[in-house]
Amino acid sequence: MPPKINFSKAAITKIEPLTSEAARWVQIQKIHFNDASGKPRDWEFASRTTRVPGSDCDGVGILAVLKKPSGPELLLQKQFRPPVGGVCIEVPAGLLDPGETLEQCAVRELFEETGYIGKATRSSPLMFSDPGFCNTNMKLITVDIDLDDPRNQNPQSKPEEGEFIETFTVPLKEFSETLRKLESEGFKLDARVQNVADGFDLARQYGLFLNK
Amino acid sequence: MPPKINFSKAAITKIEPLTSEAARWVQIQKIHFNDASGKPRDWEFASRTTRVPGSDCDGVGILAVLKKPSGPELLLQKQFRPPVGGVCIEVPAGLLDPGETLEQCAVRELFEETGYIGKATRSSPLMFSDPGFCNTNMKLITVDIDLDDPRNQNPQSKPEEGEFIETFTVPLKEFSETLRKLESEGFKLDARVQNVADGFDLARQYGLFLNK
């Protein structure tokens, strides 16, 4: 597992309004549409400028599972995220490159961000992050990491310049409780992580969960 | 349950760029920050203009559960969402009003959107929809709907002008499979819904799920 990162220097110094003309990564658009009764209306939304032309998907999130003798563990990350003003708990994720499948993207991003070589075992449907506000979307790819594979003995991440990502694992059965503990310590929770834990809790609350 | 809605007239007619000055609901901003090594950098992000001043939360999503003799059912909604260009499968949701708690917001929004009177039984941690792209966030509130309560015998939604929301329920144990079926029929899936189903699937795939 890569070393811990000291995030104490990471901080916002200033936030300022940005004009559409000056923005490189984010754009806002106005949609003219007819509602279900046929009446013309309009709506504002935000989008990324980075989506691969011709693709209908921005990228992937990765549910990377390490099968340990003590039980499966989920791989999570800590990363300072300026928009939320703090260190966020996330799954490994990345934007799709031209020509690759989502599963290839997941295996590539996992390798780059953590050094682990994995195998995609499940793809979620396409899901939209906040459909009333923006069009950003992703699929969640489940990737198994075989710890018996010699290539996974001493994984080394390959961070890009300026990329500071700390990787850690959580026993799957303690997933939901761990996120609440991390929030109490001041970390921000990515909805793609917390909602998966909400699924655990919902199954547990209504008796669909095995207590092991 | 309210009547079905015919969404066949709902369609985008035009999408056009919008300047920051002309936008009312969405804004883009530039953050100046120091990264974990202390190096100054900047980042662009999108935000809502609607957050209650002094609040750190935009609103709630609602996991509304109806306890039926045949097993718990989850309440879901269909709504045309211009940013994703289609009819989205969502949980009931809403933005926080000044002076109310998140639990009060959840019970109020559920009543307005579906007519059901519920009781909040669980609040998720605060979660960020897409922390690299925007600062929008929410908590997911679980709300029990008691079908023996006479007020829940004939629930009537109170849609706002121009609001077209169809409500339906899904047996909790068929939740994940139902979302895949809805996607295959052309519906768009809200991540807040699909990720909860991903939690179900993850628990099931790694043997934490009871098969009932």
pLDDT in tens, B62-106: 999 999 999 999 999 999 999 999 999 999 999 999 999 999 999
A2, pLDDT greater than 70 = no
Distances (CA, A) of A67 to A70, A90, A171: 8, 20, 10
Residue A14 inside a domain? The answer is no
Residue B18 inside a domain? The answer is no
Q: What is the pLDDT of residue A207?
A: 87
pLDDT in tens, B173-188: 999 999 999 999 999 9
B3, pLDDT greater than 90 = no
Rg for chain A, CA atoms, rounded? 19
**Contact B188/A131 with Cβ under 8 angstroms?**
yes
pLDDT in tens, A137-191: 999 999 999 999 999 999 998 888 888 999 999 999 999 999 999 999 999 999 9
Contacts of A84 in chain B (CB under 8 A): 128, 131, 135, 137
The continuous run of DSSP H or E covering B146 comes out as: none
Strand partners of residue A16: B30
Arithmetic mean of pLDDT over chain B: 93
Alpha-carbon gap, residue B194 to A124, rounded angstroms: 8
Q: What share of chain A is helix, strand, coil (3-state, %, to 5)?
A: 20, 40, 40
Nearest to B188 by CA among B73, B82, B114, B48: B82
A56, pLDDT greater than 70 = yes
**Contact B74/B174 with Cβ under 8 angstroms?**
no
Residue A17 inside a domain? The answer is no
CATH of the domain at A136: 3.90.79.10
Nearest CB neighbour to A197, from listed B27, B199, B210: B199
Predicted confidence band of residue B158 (pLDDT cuts 50, 70, 90): confident
pLDDT in tens, A75-98: 999 999 999 999 999 999 999 999
Residue B9 inside a domain? The answer is no
Q: Look at chain B and count its residues.
A: 212
Contact B24 A45 (CB under 8 A): no
Residue B8 inside a domain? The answer is no
Contacts of B30 in chain A (CB under 8 A): 15-18, 22
B44, pLDDT greater than 80 = yes
Q: What is the pLDDT of residue B212?
A: 59
Nearest CB neighbour to B34, from listed A9, A65, A209: A9
Distances (CA, A) of B148 to A154, B68, B80: 58, 10, 32
Strand partners of residue B186: none
pLDDT in tens, A95-115: 999 999 999 999 999 999 999
Containing structural domain, residue A165: 26-205
Smallest CA–CA separation between B85 and chain A, in Å? Answer: 9
Contact A179 B135 (CB under 8 A): no
**Contact A102/A139 with Cβ under 8 angstroms?**
yes
C-alpha dihedral sign at B198, B199, B205, B206: positive
Instruction: Output DSSP code: residue A126.
Output: P
Arithmetic mean of pLDDT over chain A: 93
Contact A194 B125 (CB under 8 A): yes
Q: What is the pLDDT of residue A91?
A: 96
Nearest CB neighbour to B35, from listed A164, A196, A198: A164
Residue type, A137: N
Contact A134 B46 (CB under 8 A): yes
pLDDT in tens, B191-212: 999 999 999 999 989 988 886 5
Residue B19 inside a domain? The answer is no
Residue B177 inside a domain? The answer is yes
The continuous run of DSSP H or E covering B147 comes out as: none
Largest CA distance in chain A: 62
Residue A199 inside a domain? The answer is yes
Q: Among A51-60, A135-144, B104-113, B122-131, whose mean pLDDT is lowest?
A: A51-60
Contacts of B40 in chain A (CB under 8 A): 13
Alpha-carbon gap, residue B91 to B86, rounded angstroms: 16
Rg for chain B, CA atoms, rounded? 19
Per-residue tokens: B11? 């369609």
Q: What is the tally of structural domains in chain B?
A: 1
The continuous run of DSSP H or E covering A12 comes out as: strand A11-17
Contact B18 A44 (CB under 8 A): yes
Predicted confidence band of residue B159 (pLDDT cuts 50, 70, 90): confident
Smallest CA–CA separation between A126 and chain B, in Å? Answer: 7
Average pLDDT over residues B126-141: 94
Q: From start to end of chain B, where are the E strands?
A: 11-17, 26-34, 40-48, 59-68, 71-81, 86-90, 93-95, 118-123, 127-128, 137-145, 166-171, 188-190
B69: left (phi over 0), alpha (psi -120 to 50) or beta: alpha
**How many A/B residue pairs have CB atoms within 8 Å?**
360
Q: What is the pLDDT of residue B52?
A: 87
pLDDT in tens, A11-26: 999 999 999 999 999 9
